[in-house]
């Protein structure tokens, strides 16, 4: 029962609108630093664009998708009207205000600090305040998800929480806690300097705070995708979820081990002790567990669908799958990209191997493949699946949808595979231009050209996506019926309290944050290693 459709549509439309803008900037960036473009006479323009691209793609776009999808899940999985609609709109408008506030200084060149802030670089204070507003807006969503679940529990004592809502709330808790790191960095470190109250900053401490956010934020981006794997795909292709418990275990594992691992982003930083780096590296390896569980469960669920459709044999059932169904296509593409991206991730999380690719284009290739590829393609799938229920109109052009998904997949592979390759060859990231005329890097020119072409394929696909959704707003009206989620082979009648509530796992998440981050933060905060701030765009 989707009642507040306008609220959900507003989140999705804003998300996809800003996504379109940031995607265009991204394609321009790929082009301008490839051998196809002429060098920028002002590299600052590149960093301006990069900051806008990262801020939108990292903070605004996925947060809005998670929020809109979260509201949809809350209403349809719990079958109760959303409580706190006015608050939800407040959160939405805070994100609108925050985004505008952040984008203006970026456009003026006053905040070209990239979305990861990179202290001691300091930009205009309104950029940081804008990001804070976006986060505060999303925290309202976190609170609403928790409150709505609580209301449902009161009405259904002891009943198993629907899987989609259980996972959705787990994702919201993960976000609430992981955003605290960046919030501490902004409030304690960056904003006082940007406001002119201080002129030195402890860059090392700030980076540790940011690593608290930086890795688990990826799993927050991932949550809607995993929810779609478990609760949309099996239903859409006519199958069943292989195991409801396995799904719950995957989500609680994300809650526990996604958080205390961020220091693998600071392997090259001298301010963190090697012992803590090792612990974070080991816990990062554990994150593979919920992902592998998910891959297994979803493959099993898909096999169920194939066998129900008459598929036979050890692998012969693969042919029986509904490959013309966009949801099937999106899942397959997402898994392929997740596989390659995950394999690359094993290099990044290894303390030793990381040294060979740290701060190279490999890293940008990696997170574009995982986030832009495996995750975002499922955002598309979520939107396609929800759209008829939100608009009351049918998305007729299935062929266009399939083309769009194919193009996104091809574009992402063509973009990111050469990107990884030049990274291994040592090409650094965050550069406005490269001198491809120099014999030292001339052989990399071809790879970079492929990458840039891939960027334009992605842009084409992104435009198609927005066109499909916009046309869907004017298509003939249909009754899409109630929005349903996939059911499990064995729908749970009762669920152990540990798998039906989040308290234990949230407690473990916080405890591990304290053990893995407590001492390094305390140590850096008490040793006083501040350096002068470097102001961007101002004397």
Partner 1 sequence: MSARDLFSLNNPHFTRGVGIIAAILIVTAIAGFIVLPFAQPWIQFANVWDAICSAAGVVQRTATVAAPEETKRLSDVVLTSHTLSRPSQEAIGRGATLAQRCAICHGPTGISRADSPNLAGQYAAVIYKELHDFRSGARSNAVMSPFAVNLTDDEIADLSNYYAYLPRLPAYHPTPQLPKPNIVIFGAPLRGIAPCGACHGSLDNKTGSPWLEGQSEAYMKAQLQAFAEGERRNDISQQMRNIARAMTPQEIDAAAAYYASQPPDVVKAVD
- Residues from 315 through 344 that contact partner 1 (CB under 8 A): none
Query: Which residue's CB is nearer to partner 1, number 90 or number 523?
Result: 523
Check: CB of residue 34 under 8 Å from CB of residue 449.
Answer: yes
User: Residue 374 contacts by C-beta under 8 Å, 6 or more apart in sequence?
Assistant: 225, 334, 335, 337, 338, 341
| Interface with partner 1 (CB under 8 A), residue from 69, 254, 276, 317 | 276
Binding mask of the shown chain, residues 143 to 162, with x at each position contacting partner 1 by CB under 8 A: ---------------x----
CB of 512 to partner 1, least distance (A): 7
Give the span between the Cα atoms of 231 and 500, in whole angstroms.
16
Is residue 396 part of the contact set for partner 1 (CB under 8 A)? Answer: no
Examine residue 39 and tell whether it contacts partner 1 (CB under 8 A).
yes
Please report how close the Cβ of residue 501 comes to partner 1 at its closest, in angstroms. 7
Helix and strand numbers, DSSP H then E, in the chain: 20, 4
| Cβ nearer to partner 1, comparing 124 with 348 | 124
Contact status: 197 vs partner 1 (CB under 8 A): no
53 is an active site residue: no
Pick 316 or 496: Cβ nearer partner 1: 496
3-class SS letters over 4-16:
CHHHHHHHHHHHH
- Determine the interface stretch with partner 1 among 179-187, 395-403, 461-469, 491-499 (rule: CB under 8 A): 491-499
Residue in 207, 215, 420, 502 annotated catalytic? 215
Restricting to residues 72-131, name those near partner 1 by CB under 8 A.
none
Residue of the chain from 187, 470, 519, 531 that contacts partner 1 (CB under 8 A): 519
Residue bearing tokens 């070209």: 112
366 counts as catalytic = yes
Selected binder of partner 1 within 6, 307, 515, 531 (CB under 8 A)? 515
Among 505, 513, 517, 530, binds partner 1 (CB under 8 A): 505
Is 156 a residue of the active site? no
Nearer to partner 1, 283 or 409 (CB): 283
Q: For partner 1, which residue of 155, 274, 314, 493 counts as binding (CB under 8 A)?
A: 274
Smallest CA-to-CA distance from 72 within 209, 168, 170, 188 is with 168
| 350 part of the interface to partner 1, by CB under 8 A | no
- Looking at the Cβ atoms of 138 and 364, the one nearer to partner 1 is 364
Torsion (CA) 358, 361, 363, 364 in degrees, nearest 10: 150
Q: Determine if 194 is a binding residue for partner 1 (CB under 8 A).
A: no
Phi/psi for 425 (5° steps) reads -75, -5
Spot the catalytic one: 430, 433, 456, 471.
430
Residue 321, helix vs strand vs coil: coil
Q: What is the DSSP string of 1-46?
A: ----HHHHHHHHHHHHHHHHHHHHHHHHHHHHTSTTSPPPS-HHHH
Pattern 281-310, partner 1, x by CB under 8 A: -xx--x------------------------
Residue 209 touches partner 1, criterion: CB under 8 A: no
Q: With contacts defined by CB under 8 A, how many residues of the chain interact with partner 1?
A: 51
128 part of the active site: no
Give first-to-last CA distance, the chain, whole Å: 56
Q: Which residues 6+ apart lie within 8 Å of 215 measured at CB? A: 258, 261, 262, 264, 265, 284
Distance (Å, whole) CA 130 – CA 190: 13
Cα 143 from Cα 139, distance rounded (Å): 6
Nearer to partner 1, 491 or 515 (CB): 515
365 lines the binding site for partner 1 (CB under 8 A): no
d(CA 323, CA 21): 31
**Known catalytic residue at 264:** no
Distant-in-sequence, close-in-space partners of 317: CB < 8 Å, separation ≥ 6: 303, 306, 307, 311
- Smallest separation, CB 507 to partner 1 (Å): 8
- Using CA atoms, how far residue 399 sits from 196, 315, 324, 396, 464, in Å, is 56, 27, 8, 9, 12
Q: From the candidates 110, 235, 366, 502, which is the catalytic residue? A: 366
- Rule CB under 8 A: say whether 503 interacts with partner 1: yes
What is the C-alpha to C-alpha distance for residues 8 and 469, in angstroms, rounded to an integer?
Answer: 14
Cα 318 from Cα 194, distance rounded (Å): 57
Q: Pick the stretch among 138-146, 275-283, 410-418, 450-458 that binds partner 1 (CB under 8 A).
A: 275-283
- C-beta atoms surrounding 434 within 10 Å: 19
Cβ 427 to partner 1 shortest distance, Å:
11
Judging by DSSP bridges, how do beta strands 200-201 and 531-532 pair with one another?
A: antiparallel
Active site residue 367: yes
Q: Identify the residue among 275, 319, 324, 355 touching partner 1 (CB under 8 A).
A: 275
Distance between CA atoms of residues 468 and 519, nearest Å: 51
Q: Of 221 and 436, which has the nearer Cβ to partner 1?
A: 436
Site string for partner 1, 426-465 (x = CB under 8 A): -----x-xxx--x-xx------------------------
Give the total residue count for the chain: 539
The CB-of-432 to partner 1 minimum distance in angstroms stands at 9
Q: Is position 335 annotated as part of the catalytic site?
A: no
Phi and psi dihedrals of 502, rounded to 5? -110, -10
Residues assigned a catalytic role: 215, 219, 366-368, 429-430
Binding site for partner 1 (CB under 8 A): 39, 41-44, 158, 196, 199, 256, 271-279, 282-283, 286, 431, 433-435, 438, 440-441, 496-499, 501, 503-505, 507-508, 512, 515, 519-520, 523, 527, 532, 534-539
């Amino acid at each position: 029962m989707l009642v507040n459709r306008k609220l959900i549509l507003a989140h999705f439309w804003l998300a996809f609108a800003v996504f379109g803008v940031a995607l265009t900037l991204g394609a321009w960036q790929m082009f301008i630093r490839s051998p196809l473009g002429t060098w920028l006479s002002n590299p600052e323009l590149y960093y301006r664009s990069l900051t806008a691209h990262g801020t939108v793609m990292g903070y605004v776009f996925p947060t809005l998708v998670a929020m809109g999808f979260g509201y949809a899940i809350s209403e349809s999985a719990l079958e109760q009207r959303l409580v706190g609609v006015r608050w939800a709109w407040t959160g939405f408008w805070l994100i609108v205000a925050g985004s505008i506030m952040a984008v203006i200084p970026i456009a003026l060149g006053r905040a070209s600090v990239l979305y990861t802030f990179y202290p001691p670089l300091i930009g205009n204070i309104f950029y940081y305040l804008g990001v804070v507003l976006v986060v505060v807006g999303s925290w309202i969503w976190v609170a609403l998800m928790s409150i709505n679940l609580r209301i449902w529990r009161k009405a259904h004592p002891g009943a198993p929480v629907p899987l989609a809502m259980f996972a959705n709330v787990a994702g919201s808790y993960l976000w609430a806690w992981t955003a605290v790191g960046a919030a501490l960095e902004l409030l304690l470190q960056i904003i006082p300097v940007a406001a002119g109250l201080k002129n030195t900053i402890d860059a090392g401490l700030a980076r540790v705070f940011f690593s608290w956010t930086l890795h688990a934020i990826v799993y927050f981006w991932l949550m809607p995708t995993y929810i779609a794997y478990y609760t949309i795909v099996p239903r859409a292709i006519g199958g069943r979820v292989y195991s409801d418990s396995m799904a719950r275990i995957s989500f609680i594992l994300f809650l526990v081990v996604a958080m205390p691992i961020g220091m693998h982003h600071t392997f090259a930083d001298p301010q963190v002790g090697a012992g803590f780096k090792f612990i974070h590296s080991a816990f990062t390896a554990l994150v593979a567990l919920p992902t592998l569980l998910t891959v297994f469960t979803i493959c099993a669920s898909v096999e169920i669908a194939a066998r129900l459709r008459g598929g036979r044999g050890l692998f012969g059932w693969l042919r029986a799958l509904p490959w013309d169904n966009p949801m099937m296509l999106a899942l397959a593409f997402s898994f392929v990209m997740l596989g390659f991206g995950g394999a690359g991730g094993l290099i990044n999380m290894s303390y030793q191997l990381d040294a060979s690719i740290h701060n190279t284009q490999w890293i940008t290739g990696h997170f574009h493949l995982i986030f832009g590829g495996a995750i975002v393609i499922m955002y598309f799938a979520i939107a396609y699946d929800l759209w008829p229920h939100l608009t009351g109109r049918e998305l007729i052009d299935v062929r266009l949808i399939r083309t769009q998904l194919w193009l996104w997949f091809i574009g992402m592979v063509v973009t990111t595979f050469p990107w990884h390759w030049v990274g291994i060859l040592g090409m650094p990231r965050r550069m406005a231009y490269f001198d491809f005329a120099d014999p030292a890097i001339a052989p990399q020119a071809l790879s970079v050209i492929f990458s840039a072409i891939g960027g334009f394929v992605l842009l084409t696909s992104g435009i198609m996506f927005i066109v499909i959704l916009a046309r869907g707003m004017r298509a003939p009206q249909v009754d899409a019926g109630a929005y349903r989620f996939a059911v499990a082979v064995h729908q749970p009648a009762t669920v152990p309290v540990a798998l039906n509530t989040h308290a234990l796992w949230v407690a473990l998440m916080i405890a591990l944050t304290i053990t893995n981050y407590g001492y390094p933060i305390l140590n850096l905060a008490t040793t006083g290693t501040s350096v002068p701030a470097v102001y961007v765009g101002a004397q």
